Structure 1
Amino acid sequence: MPSEKENPSKKSALRENIEAILVAIILAMFIRTFVIQAFKIPSGSMKETLQIGDHILVNKFIFGIKMPFTMKTLVSIKDPERGDIIVFKFPEDPDKDFIKRVIGVAGDVIEIKDKQVYVNNEPVNYKQAVFKDSRIIPGDVQPRDNFGPKTIPPDCLFVMGDNRDQSYDSRFWGVVNLDAVKGKAFIIYWSWDKENFSVRWGRLGNFLK
């Protein structure tokens, strides 16, 4: 029979294991809340940059430290810049996360004429932008191809999807407040092609631009 003297060591080992697990959980929650978080791409609004089934990592620290749940910025480091791919709380439903590219920042004047984007009266063209519909839809019907001019308010961003003809973005529902921004997407760490039931090996490790 085991001696009673062995029991304290067993209890000590169990306690150490529990403490290690708790520390790991707390550390993981800290990293997810303040440093890096994983997201999955559910739609094609950012094609061809991001495909449905891509899994990405988002740098949450780059824009500052935010209060959990309220998303109020505690420490500001820098603001998103034009061209950044950001994840944010959807203004019309904060329970949903959206991912888009920043087109305009506070003070910018955004206008779209026949699919061409202008920022402060200068044409802006991103090589990632994709147009799959050759038709030009008049601005008085809906703002997909003709929009503005609109001046971006303070502490706000104007965002668009790279799949310009198939993206529900700031052209339709307005600007994104800086407090709603969760972070900047920077790498694809996994990609699953559901239709072909296969891994897109060539996309793994790709940095986002």
Structure 2
Amino acid sequence: MFRSRSIKHARLLIRHAEKLIRYRCDVLSDAALADLRRQIETLERSIKERDLPGVRENSERLDALVAEHSPSHREAGWRENCEVILVAIVVAVGVRSYFIQPFKIPTGSMQPTLNGIIGHPRTEPAPNILRQIAEFFILGRNYINVVAPEDESIREIVEQKYLFFFTWSRIVTDRGTHLVYAPEATLGHDFQVVPGARYQRGQIIARGVIDTGDQVFVDKFIYNFMKPHRGDVFVFRTKHIPMIPEDPQTGAPYFIKRLVGSAGDTLRIDPPLLYINGEPAKGFGFQRVMKAKPPYRGYTLGRQYLARPDQSFTVPPHS
């Protein structure tokens, strides 16, 4: 076995050396080409004579010559790493664009089925920095503390996203700007931080904790082959939906909801029940909400649609 392996390695080395000669014959000197050809002939003679010590010795010499006259590959490692990273990025972007996309639950409208970004106002100061770091990574909890340095009023709140996941808001006042790691909707809904609000010097603008909530993967592929069914939880874009403003930078926001009605269904809410085509909604997800057992609160009336128990809504036929 040792003999056949040594000879096989020597023959592969000869083929590699001959390839090097063909590849670099125009840049190698005549002396270098002569040395390579001479060493190839010597190794072939050792193989033919079955001279194992000679095969090993001449293989080492030919290998040294090949290494000496081969182009340098000192940057090959960096190049390969860059290629791997680039391919990984392309694959990740492709998967995110056409198959699966990460999605952060923006609000608490589907709690406790799905936990969204919820703010909890507090008056006590935040804990020490080590505990804050631990809770951020373990619980997804972020502490905020914005205090008015002087008398000021809020002009606007500008939300900005970084790397698709990190949402910051700039609270712009007539005296300056406060940067807060929280969505605009959470500041307004949970902390009552809205444009026009006035604060005196030393007054708390927003203090408390913000729980990040759930982060899920959205299947963007399956509905190309099947229609959504009643009871499915799905993500949709709110483009052209009245009363939902579009962000000038990111466009219409995404909502995550449970599908309750398909084309032609008639819906009605008589708290805490949801009626579909005149009957209480069927299915585990609906029944769990309609029982209104804490933390569930049942279905409640809307503002514009289904605003009264006797008001119904029929889903358009081509929805």
TM-score (norm. length: structure 1): 0.55
Residues 1:20 and 1:103: Cα distance change in structure 2 (over 3 Å): same
Structure 1 residue 79 and structure 2 residue 239: aligned?
no
Cα separation, partners in 2 of 1:20 and 1:59, compared to 1, 3 Å:
same
Match of 1:28 among 92, 107, 127: 92
Cα RMSD (Å): 3.2
Deviation at 1:155, TM superposition (A): 3.8
Write out per-residue CA displacement over residues 97-151 of structure 1, whole angstroms, 9 at most, x where no aligned residue. 11110000111111223442221122215133164669x87x8997355364222
Give the paired residue count: 140
1:50-90, Cα deviation, whole Å (9 max, x unpaired): 123111121111112xxxxxxxxxxxx11111000011112
Question: Which residues of 2 match residues 54-73 of structure 1 at below 5 A?
Answer: 54-64=214-224
Counterpart of 2:314?
151
**Is residue 237–residue 252 contact of structure 2 (8 Å, CA) maintained in 1?**
yes
Distance 1:40 1:26, change over 3 A: same
Equivalent position SS for 2:78: helix
Separation in structure 1 between the aligned mates of residue 308 and residue 69 of structure 2, nearest angstrom: 79
Task: State the alpha-carbon separation in 2 of the partners of residues 115 and 21 from structure 1.
Answer: 52
2: CA distance between counterparts of 1:111 and 1:123? 9
1:35–1:59: 8 Å Cα contact kept in structure 2? yes
Question: Shift of residue 31 of structure 1?
Answer: 0.9
Percent of matched pairs sharing the same residue? 37
Larger Rg: 2
User: What residue number does 2:106 align with?
Assistant: 42
Distance 2:115 2:219 in 1: 19
| Structure having the larger proportion of residues in strand | 1
Do the aligned residues in 1 keep the contact of 2:263 with 2:318 (CA within 8 Å)?
A: yes
Check whether the contact 2:268–2:306 (CA below 8 A) recurs between aligned residues: no
Aligned pair in 2 of structure 1 residues 114, 145: CA closer, same or farther (>3 Å)?
farther
Q: Which has the higher helix share?
A: 2
Amino acid at match of 1:153: P
- Give 5+ residue unaligned stretches, structure 1: 65-76, 157-209
Question: Aligned letter for 2:309?
Answer: N
Higher RCO structure (Cα 8 Å, ≥6 apart):
1
Gaps of at least 5 residues in structure 2 are 1-67, 117-212
* Structure-2 change in CA distance of 1:117 and 1:36 (3 Å): same
1:6 Cα shift? 4.9
CA contact (8 A) 1:115 1:146 kept: no
> Does the aligned pair in 2 maintain the 1:114–1:145 contact within 8 Å?
no
